[in-house]
């Protein structure tokens, strides 16, 4: 027996969890032990994956969905939401993740794409999806496919914030311009962005994306978290930045504090004290593979 008009998997229910994660930090973890450290540090969710992006970058080869055993181990260990990644276009991996009961699926460019033209039809799922975007057109295409959360892609596994900043500024800058456009100009915006007109018109009205926008790819320090939050991100994903640093637990905690008090420089300074070495960073121009270029 259910109460009247009971429904699961509605857009409101799916985006609702993204709303609840606003202001928080979602951390990449590769085993239950790391998941526990993340939860203890105040993560609002964990992303379960086999290798963090820095290792995927180093090892090369095809990166795939994680082993269900590892995901289930993490689900048993923590009470916060557990997310997991599927390859772009690999709807069978997404179906498996849904059957495991993961709380969010990340259709992620960090894994090797399975389809060079099509992303997953995310409307067909009960589980909500997050997708990456480098610009507003890409974000709106993902939303039109059913994504309930967007994360700016940045360049995962580099510890270099420059790409995340570029993508955030591109998405939010175009949103600001659209709010100044007249009705006729919105048609041209839709064409230029290769995005549905209805979503462009909605942005002109509301001045924001129809789903929460978080930031990922390159966050390594409390100051990085404060920077992207001040630029307009609503929460942060930290991948390699925590568990590839010298002392993960205090750094995880510090990034949570800096994300909460992102406008309070004294608090961010306090969080930044004595954290040891951050993850080693990579210059973007030296990269052989740019993960952000995956996805269409």
Partner 1 sequence: MLTSLGTKSVAVRTPDDLAGIDAIILPGGESTTISMLLESSKVFDPLKQMIDEGLPVLGTCAGMILLANEVSDGRADQKSFAAIDISVRRNSFGRQIASFESDLKVKGLTNSFRAVFIRAPGVEKVGDSVEILATVDTHGQTEVPVLCKSGPILVSSFHPELTADSRIHQIFLSLIK
Taking the least distance from each CB to partner 1, the nearer of 19 and 121 is 19
35, two tokens: 């998941």
The DSSP output letter for 24 is S
Distance CA 233, CA 50 (A): 26
Q: What character string, x for contact with partner 1 (CB under 8 A) and - otherwise, covers 245-284?
A: -----------xx--xx--x--------------------
Taking the least distance from each CB to partner 1, the nearer of 1 and 184 is 1
Total residues at interface with partner 1 (CB under 8 A): 40
Q: Which stretch binds partner 1 (CB under 8 A): 15-23, 58-66, 109-117, 187-195?
A: 15-23
* Min separation Cβ 259 and partner 1, Å: 10
* Min separation Cβ 227 and partner 1, Å: 18
Strand pairing report for 129-133 and 104-108: parallel
Does the footprint of partner 1 cover residue 207 (CB under 8 A)?
no
Taking the least distance from each CB to partner 1, the nearer of 6 and 184 is 6
Give the Å distances, CA to CA, from 74 to 50, 80, 81, 234.
Answer: 12, 10, 10, 25
Q: Which of 14, 36, 76, 85 is catalytic?
A: 85
169 contact partners, CB below 8 Å, separation of at least 6 = 231
Does the footprint of partner 1 cover residue 230 (CB under 8 A)?
no
Distance CA 225, CA 106 (A): 20
* Sign, CA torsion 182/187/191/197: positive
Cβ-based neighbour number of residue 148 at 10 Å:
25
Does the footprint of partner 1 cover residue 129 (CB under 8 A)?
no
Closest of 211, 248, 178 to residue 12, by C-alpha: 211
* Sign, CA torsion 54/173/25/85: negative
Site for partner 1 in 81-110 (CB under 8 A): 81, 98, 101-104
The DSSP output letter for 159 is -
Q: Site for partner 1 (CB under 8 A): which residue of 29, 30, 32, 44? A: 44
Does the footprint of partner 1 cover residue 126 (CB under 8 A)?
yes
* Min separation Cβ 33 and partner 1, Å: 17
Q: What character string, x for contact with partner 1 (CB under 8 A) and - otherwise, covers 20-39?
A: xx-xx--------------x
Catalytic residue list contains 85 = yes
Q: Which stretch binds partner 1 (CB under 8 A): 14-22, 51-59, 180-188, 278-286?
A: 14-22
Taking the least distance from each CB to partner 1, the nearer of 23 and 60 is 23
CB-based burial, 257-267: b 16+ in 10 Å, e otherwise: bbbbbbeeeeb
51, two tokens: 């290798």
Closest of 113, 112, 152 to residue 131, by C-alpha: 152
Catalytic amino acids?
85
Give contact residues for partner 1 (rule: CB under 8 A).
Answer: 1-10, 12-13, 16-17, 19-21, 23-24, 39, 42-45, 79-81, 98, 101-104, 126-128, 256-257, 260-261, 264
């Amino acid at each position: 027996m259910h109460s009247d008009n009971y429904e699961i998997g509605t857009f409101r229910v799916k985006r609702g969890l993204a709303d609840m994660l606003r202001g928080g930090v979602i951390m990449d973890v590769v085993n239950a032990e790391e998941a526990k450290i993340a939860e203890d540090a105040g993560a609002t969710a964990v992303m379960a994956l086999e290798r963090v992006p820095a290792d995927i970058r180093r090892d090369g080869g095809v990166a795939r969905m994680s082993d269900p055993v590892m995901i289930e181990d993490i689900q048993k260990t923590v009470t916060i939401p557990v997310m997991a990644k599927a390859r772009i276009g690999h709807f069978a991996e997404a179906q498996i993740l849904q059957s495991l009961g993961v709380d969010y699926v990340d259709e992620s460019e960090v894994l090797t794409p399975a389809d060079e033209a099509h992303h997953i039809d995310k409307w067909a799922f009960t589980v909500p999806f997050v997708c990456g975007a480098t610009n507003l057109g890409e974000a709106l295409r993902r939303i039109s496919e059913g994504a309930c959360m967007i994360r700016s892609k940045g360049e995962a596994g580099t510890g270099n914030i420059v790409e995340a900043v570029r993508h955030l500024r591109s998405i939010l800058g175009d949103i600001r311009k659209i709010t100044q456009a007249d009705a006729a100009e919105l048609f041209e915006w839709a064409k230029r962005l290769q995005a549905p007109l209805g979503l462009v018109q909605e942005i002109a009205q509301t001045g924001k994306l129809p789903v929460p926008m978080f930031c990922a790819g390159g966050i390594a320090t409390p100051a990085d978290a404060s920077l992207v939050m001040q630029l307009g991100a609503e929460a942060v994903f930290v991948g390699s930045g925590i568990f590839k640093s010298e002392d993960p637990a205090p750094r995880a905690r510090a990034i949570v504090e800096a994300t909460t008090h992102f406008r309070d420089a004294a608090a961010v300074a306090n969080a930044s004290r004595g954290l040891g070495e951050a993850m080693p960073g990579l210059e973007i121009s030296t990269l052989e593979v740019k993960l952000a270029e995956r996805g269409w």
